[in-house]
Structure 1
Amino acid sequence: MAYRETEKMRQRKAEARRRISECAYQCVAEGGFRSAKITRIAQLAGVATGTIYRHYESKEDLFAEIFRQATQREIDKVAEALATPGSATARLEQALRQFAERALKGPVMAWSLIAEPVDPKLEEERLAYRKAYANLFEQAIHEGIEEGCIPDQDARQSSTCLVGAIAESLVGPLAPSQNGQAVTNETDKKDPLVDTIIRFCIQGLTGTRR
């Protein structure tokens, strides 16, 4: 008689996978991908190390899922900001602020997503999500051109420049310090940086000094 998985067993497997994913996310948020150890993830999830490999083919597959989850959260926040009322430039400004401020409030995870040296599988995910950010910005730039608040330009190229500018601007502030700890967030010290990033990006798009 062929083995048939019961609904209860499927639920138990799904719950184990969920715990593994949540604990892996926690480990990455605390120390980045390179510091996230499978043994530690298994311990936190309350499973054997081998159980992880029954749910994921490799550590890289598990981390790719965590990368997708974490980045999608940030993309959703940017999309929400771009969907708010107002001119295209105002919405772009809000989206850029959302991106930068959230990164500075969660520096370890932000560094992991933006600039931490990672294996090729995660680098592919990083490139895919940079494109996703660029697509959101491109649509907003097109809308700004139609509204007349942004000069006519190559929206696709400009959106790519926006993603590159904001990501590169955050690399230094997010980079782990010499003692291996990421920079902690201090709102009063970070606001000038965020304002500078936004000013540079919007000025580049509109050609107008802010």
Structure 2
Amino acid sequence: MAYRETEKMRQRKAEARQRIVDCTFQCVMDGGFRSARINRIADLAGVATGTIYRHFESREDLFAGVFRLATQREVDKVAEALATEGNAAARLETALRQFAERALRGPMMAWSLIAEPVDPKVEEERLKYRKAYASLFETAIREGISEGCLPDQDARQSSTCLVGAIAESLVGPLSPTQPARIRRQHLTTPMHWSIPSFAFACRD
């Protein structure tokens, strides 16, 4: 008689997988992907190391999944900010400010998502989500052009530049080598973003 997995077994497997993801997420939040060692994750999740590989093909596969989870949360927050009231320039400023402030409140996770050297599989996910951010910004810039609050320009090029600019501006403050007092100073200093000026600089 062929073995048939029971609902209880499926639930236990799902719970174990979720614990693995949650514990990996916590490891990354505490010390970046470099600190997320399989043995440590297994200990925190209360499973054997072999159990991790029954749920994920490889360490890189697990990290890519955690990266997707963490970054999608940030993309969703940017989308929410861009859906608020106000003209496109104001909404872009709100989204960028929120992105930066959330990054500075969780510097290790933000560093891991933005700049930490990672495996190729995770880097592929990083590029996908940069495109996701750029797509959101491109839509907002096009709306701003239509509204007349942003000058006519190549919206796709400007959105790509915008993603690169904010990531680059945060690398220093988020770096693990940056003293904690400096990161706190960045967090308590108001963020000022001039979207119209930036967009004007990027016009054809």
TM-score tier (shorter): over 0.9
Q: Please tell me whether the aligned partners of residues 175 and 182 of structure 1 are also in contact (alpha carbons under 8 angstroms).
A: no
Determine the structure 1 residue equivalent to 2:187: 190
- Alignment gaps of 5+ in structure 1: none
Q: Deviations for 1:14-46, whole angstroms, at most 9, x for unmatched residues?
A: 000000000000000000001111111111111
Query: Once superposed, what is the RMSD of the aligned Cα atoms?
Result: 1.7
For the pair 1:99 / 2:96, whether they are aligned, the reply is: no
Query: Size of the alignment, in residue pairs?
Result: 201
Q: Please tell me whether the aligned partners of residues 85 and 91 of structure 1 are also in contact (alpha carbons under 8 angstroms).
A: yes
User: Cα distance 1:79–1:62, how it changes in 2: closer, same or farther (>3 A)?
Assistant: same
Separation in 2, partners of 1:184, 1:64: 30
Q: Deviations for 1:40-90, whole angstroms, at most 9, x for unmatched residues?
A: 111111111111011001000000000000000100000000000000000
When normalised by structure 1's length, the TM-score is 0.91
Separation in 2, partners of 1:161, 1:202: 14
State the AA in 2 paired with 1:73.
Answer: R
Instruction: Give the match's secondary structure for 1:117.
Output: coil
State the AA in 2 paired with 1:203.
Answer: S
- Alignment gaps of 5+ in structure 2: none
Determine the structure 2 residue equivalent to 1:50: 50
Shift of residue 194, structure 1, vs aligned partner: 2.6
Q: Please tell me whether the aligned partners of residues 74 and 99 of structure 1 are also in contact (alpha carbons under 8 angstroms).
A: yes
Q: Deviations for 1:124-152, whole angstroms, at most 9, x for unmatched residues?
A: 00000000000000000010011000111
Percent identity over paired residues: 74
State the AA in 1 paired with 2:99.
Answer: F
Please give the residue correspondences for 1:31-180 in structure 2 after superposition, counting only pairs within 5 Å: 31-177=31-177
When normalised by structure 2's length, the TM-score is 0.93
Shift of residue 190, structure 1, vs aligned partner: 3.2
Determine the structure 2 residue equivalent to 1:24: 24
State the AA in 2 paired with 1:136.
Answer: L
Instruction: Give the match's secondary structure for 2:166.
Output: helix
State the AA in 1 paired with 2:199.
Answer: L
